[in-house]
Amino acid sequence: MVQLRPRASRAPASASAMVDEGQPASEEAEHGLLLGQPSSGAAAEPLEEDGDGDDDLDDEAPEELTFASAQAEARAEERRVRETARRDKTLLKEKRKRREELFIEQKKRKLLPDTVLQKLTTASQTNIKKSPGKLKEDKSQKKNEECEKGNESKKVKEKIQSIGQNKSYLARRLKDQDLRDSRQQAAKAFIQNSLYGPGTNRTTGTQKKQNAKRFKRRWMVRKMKTSKK
């Protein structure tokens, strides 16, 4: 990036040298006074022509800038840029770190305490068959409630085989039971719909009576009409 400088002074060549700026600069020189500051990207070289033509204050001889100073400036510039970038990066990193920690904490809160987890892993290793169909849903809910009280968490939906030797209860995934119930409901709805739903030609006793009344009325009307004729 090149800073704008008055025309009189000589702008140092910046890191990003603009090759084609040379030409407009020379054009400017030809136009003389009309041309104001050189364009921002102009790597204005010291223009001897300028000094020759004008005697104004603006047309002083460009300052003498040593290369070293310019270089130092450029380096400072770079450093500044780099530092801002680093600062941004670190800030972002910290943010991410903090977020991760927060997530880990939340996850920890969700899981069971270690003791129960241990028991589960050992129980899953032992070979206990799950007895089919003989479980009570309220028992599984009770187990969940116990766990809830233990660590103030939401309902646990872990598949638990019977723990230890006592098979007095058996827990089941509540999601499975819901699925079963919903399937059963769907099946019942299907049969209700296919036998008694729309499109079937069903009638109740009251409907029959209403139809009969209507028919009778219409028949009487028709009879009156024909008898009148």
Partner 1 sequence: MGEFKVHRVRFFNYVPSGIRCVAYNNQSNRLAVSRTDGTVEIYNLSANYFQEKFFPGHESRATEALCWAKGQRLFSAGLNGEIIEYDLQALDIKYSMDAFGGPIWSMAASPSGSQLLVGCEDGSVKLFQINPDKIQFERNFDRQKSRILSLSWHPSGTHIAAGSIDYISVFDIKSGSAVHKMLVDRQYMGVSKRKCIIWGVAFLSDGTVISVDSAGKVQFWDSATGTLVKTHLVANADVQSIAVSDQEDSFVVGTAEGTVFHFQLVSVTSNSSEKQWVRTKPFQHHTHDVRTVAHSPTALISGGTDTHLVIRPLMEKVEVKNYDAALRKITFPHRRLISCSKKRQLLLFQFSHHLDLWRLGSTVATGGKTSGKFLVPGKHGDTLPLSKDADHLLQLKTKGPENIICSCVSPCGSWIAYSTASRFFLRRLNYEHDNLSLHRVSKMPACLRSAVQIMFSEDSTKLFVASNQGSLHILRLLEGSFKHLHTFQAQSGTVESMCLLAVSPDGNWLAASGTSAGVHVYSVKRLKIFEYSIPDKQYTEWSRAIQKQGFHHHWLQRDTPITHIGFHPKRPAHILLHDAYMFCIIDKSLPLPNDKTLLYNPLPPTNESDVIRRRTAHAFKISKKYKPLLFMDLLDEGTLVAVERPLDDIIAQLPPPIKKKKFGT
Query: Rounded to the nearest whole angstrom, what is the least distance from the CB of residue 168 to partner 1 in the complex?
Result: 18
Nearer CB in complex with partner 1: 168/201: 201
Binding site for partner 1 (CB under 8 A): 132-133, 180, 183-184, 186-188, 190, 194-196, 199-205, 208, 211-212, 215
| DSSP annotation of 153 | -
Nearer CB in complex with partner 1: 52/181: 181
Measured between alpha carbons, how far is 162 from 173 in angstroms, rounded to an integer?
Answer: 13
CB 4 within 8 A of CB 43: no
Nearer CB in complex with partner 1: 3/182: 182
Measured between alpha carbons, how far is 155 from 140 in angstroms, rounded to an integer?
Answer: 11
Nearer CB in complex with partner 1: 86/188: 188
* Residue 14: other Cβ atoms inside 10 A: 16
Nearer CB in complex with partner 1: 103/215: 215
Query: Rounded to the nearest whole angstrom, what is the least distance from the CB of residue 151 to partner 1 in the complex?
Result: 33
Query: Rounded to the nearest whole angstrom, what is the least distance from the CB of residue 212 to partner 1 in the complex?
Result: 5
Measured between alpha carbons, how far is 102 from 108 in angstroms, rounded to an integer?
Answer: 10
* Residue 121: other Cβ atoms inside 10 A: 9
Query: Rounded to the nearest whole angstrom, what is the least distance from the CB of residue 220 to partner 1 in the complex?
Result: 13
Measured between alpha carbons, how far is 225 from 190 in angstroms, rounded to an integer?
Answer: 48
Nearer CB in complex with partner 1: 133/168: 133
Query: Rounded to the nearest whole angstrom, what is the least distance from the CB of residue 134 to partner 1 in the complex?
Result: 9
Measured between alpha carbons, how far is 50 from 53 in angstroms, rounded to an integer?
Answer: 5
Measured between alpha carbons, how far is 21 from 28 in angstroms, rounded to an integer?
Answer: 11
Residue pointed to by tokens 């646990």 = 156
Query: Rounded to the nearest whole angstrom, what is the least distance from the CB of residue 133 to partner 1 in the complex?
Result: 5
